[in-house]
Amino acid sequence: MTAGGPYTTAATASSTSYTDASLANGTKYYYVVSALDSAGESANSTEKSATPAPAATAPTVPTNVAATAGDKQVTVTWSAIAGATAYHVKRATTSGGPYTQVAAPTSATYTDTSLTNGTSYYYVVSAVDAAGESANSSQVTAKPAAPVAVLAAPTGLTAKAGNAQVSLQWSGSTGATSYHVKRATTSGGPYTQVAAPTAASYADSGVANGTVYYYVVSAVNSAGESANSAEVNAKPVAPTGPPPAVDVTITVTPASQHAISPYIYGVNLASSLTNGPPSLTFDRAGGNRWTAYNWQTNASNAGSDYLYENDSFLSSSTTPAAAATNVISYDQSNGMASLVTFQMQGLVAADELGPVSIALPPLLSRFKTVVFEKGSAFTATPSPSDANVYMDEFIWAIDRKFGGQNIFGATPATQHVFAQLDNEPELWNSTHLEIQGSKTVTSDAYIAKTIALATALKKQFPNLVIFGPAHFGFYGIYAWNGELSPTPSGNNWFTDKYLAAIKAASASFGRPLVDVYDFHWYPEATDSAGARVTGLNGAVLTDDQVQAIVQSPRSLWDNTYQEKSWIAQGLGGPIDILGRLQAKIAAENPGMKLSITEYNNGGAQHIAGTIAQADNLGVFGAQSLFAANMWPLQANETYLLAGFRAYRNFDGANHSFGDTSITATSSNVGNVAVYVSTDTARPGRVVMVAINRSTSTQVTAINGQTLTGTAHLFQMTAASAKAQGVVQPVAAGSQAVSGASLTLSLPALSVTTVDIY
């Protein structure tokens, strides 16, 4: 055991190898070898040494693996393994692999760089030594993200003094989660934080008249708090002199009330809206595209909207009914009910191969036949080669996708899904010339189709709520686009014919076949030069154009208002379309509801559009409409979407208009309309939306509703909207209320939400 000896003979071997056993591990031994024959023994060989040790084994699997995300990188750490000479770090972009080795560090940490922010990466680690490689560790994941920067200080801070209050407004900071409002009584501070609103406005009511207050605002996000804004100041003062003269009186009748349908706050194409309003309640999957939609393949036809082409515009998925179920899934996850279109014209796209010839329509080789009732043997994956496309199988397949949720039932587990019988049938010969041909479908044929399709759907889901006919506008309601010869005050409109036929068919079937009488309403009202309001969407409008827009909702209900339009001229007076249709329904088919699933009053880039949209929503609630869906006509309709914000989340704290409408009449509805609500979930709370259509301030007295507490005002005007990227209400102060009266000074061309509690 010592180099150079002395040596002890360990063994005499007859072969050229020998294993020396029973040695001590870790001790170094030295060996020489000599050869023997009959003549004697040779000299010793050169000395060699060796240290016995156990056989090598692969290391254990690394544990405590963790992944921490950074900016374009992930740092992976783990517990070191004794004896490991290196580690293999392996990465995947799909959970469970396959993994690709990205590094072989010798320490128990590795930073993986040059990754893509927003992508999830999955990692495992193995240990390596001379004996081999361990199994992979458990998987960890991380998603790199750019660091959140501290925001810049808010700008545009203004302070407006009132009676015992100061209203603050500033330009919102992108990425801010809240703001800190700070107040002082000395210029330059020290400041005390008084609020942390999430919206870019605040009404400070904890102040005394006659004192000057100084304010700064900072923005806050997860990275921290910005510097303070520039300082502003204001001095609250009590009003002096006699109260201003009242311009308009609103008379509220609390005993006259009814529930507001939750489905009036709806849009078309909700998922496509940019900066859409919060808290929408209803979404429609409808329009020209859906008439020739083939649920089996998701192909559809653009019709006259674009080259009459068959394509995959609604969905490129190969999963049957995906275009519809994707909409429903989006709506369910965003708290909205859905309206899905079922095909009734008779032909749907058979391919996605582009434009279809309209020389001799229909070119049947490019389309499949719609059959309303298959009855049984349904499948959620029908063969694309099937000759027919079945509507009862379509609704069955949708329901199966949402199994157990009862979406077509009377009491769904989540949100309702309703059915609409196609779209604008009076125009099929133009919008869908490729399948209808040039001849309009007759009213008799259309009604027969309605009864057949509604029957097929209700056999599957008896409590399904069905909308029809989805008229394109007034001329369809009145004369079925020229087929009929009605009279303005007569019972010979298409509506009368339809209601009578549906009533008779429903009696035979044993339950209502069509539950909601549905139409589209794009006002035909014009300015004095004949320009239709739906085309008045610029940022600059004349007073005449503004008034054409803001007065246009009155044609829905006001039997004293006559707009400038061919409709009013033909009827010889006010349109009052809701009143006329409700009277016909009450006389012929009581219990049927009313909806407007497409509408738009223009003014997309002007406060006039905000006023008209807010007025529409007030009318829908006051006039007991069941459902409504605004259709966007422009890419950017922030002014129109602002109309929803007057009713939904107007304060940035998710407070909304109530669920019960209280009758309120105006002494001058041409200037001011006020919509009044209470809420069954918030006893004692009253919410009003006051609309001033006039170009001057209107002092408005609201009498008759018992009020207690404080009226909190949120307002939209041309000036406040101009300073915003997304038009929305800003805090406009508060005032104590008691008794049964409230007086408001409403700015010219404004929408004011009043939350009283």
> How much is the pLDDT for 258?
98
**How many of the other CB atoms lie within 10 Å of CB of 359?**
6
Output the pTM of the full model: 0.76
Q: How far apart are CA 419 and CA 519, in angstroms?
A: 14
- The mean-pLDDT minimum among 422-426, 451-455, 676-680, 719-723 falls in 719-723
**Residue type (1 letter), 444:** D
> How much is the pLDDT for 505?
98
| Cβ contact 484:497 at 8 Å | yes
Q: How far apart are CA 335 and CA 357, in angstroms?
A: 42
The DSSP-derived string for 430-472 is HHTHHHH-SSPPPHHHHHHHHHHHHHHHHHH-TT--EEEEEES
Catalytically annotated residue among 309, 393, 424, 598? 424
Angle value at C-alpha 68, between 63 and 73, nearest 5 degrees: 120
| More confidently predicted of 170 and 608 | 608
> How much is the pLDDT for 76?
97
Phi-psi region of 474 (alpha: psi -120 to 50; beta: other; left: phi over 0): alpha
- pLDDT tens per residue across span 492-503: 999 999 999 999
Q: How far apart are CA 731 and CA 466, in angstroms?
A: 41
Residues 555-572 have a mean pLDDT of: 98
Q: Is 524 a residue of the active site?
A: no
Q: How far apart are CA 731 and CA 197, in angstroms?
A: 11
Take residue 40 and report the two structure tokens written for it: 């004697």
Q: Is the predicted pLDDT of residue 54 greater than 70, yes or no?
A: no
C-alpha distances (whole Å) from 421 to each of 284, 392, 591 are: 12, 13, 19
* CB burial of residue 633 (10 Å; 0-12, 13-18, 19+): middle
Summary mean pLDDT of the chain: 94
| Cβ contact 137:62 at 8 Å | yes
Residues 253-262 have a mean pLDDT of: 98
Residue ranges of domains in the chain, CATH in brackets: 1-54 (no CATH), 66-142 (2.60.40.10), 155-234 (2.60.40.10), 248-260+657-756 (2.60.40.1180), 280-472 (3.20.20.80)
Closest CA to 556 of 593, 533, 581: 581
* CB burial of residue 667 (10 Å; 0-12, 13-18, 19+): middle
Confidence tier at 264 by pLDDT (50, 70, 90): very high
Question: By three-state DSSP, how is residue 604 classified?
Answer: coil
Q: 581-605 burial by CB neighbour count: b if 16+ within 10 A, else e?
A: bbebbeebbeebbbbbbbbbbbbbb
| Cβ contact 613:644 at 8 Å | yes
How many Cα atoms sit within 13 Å of 518 on the Cβ side? 30
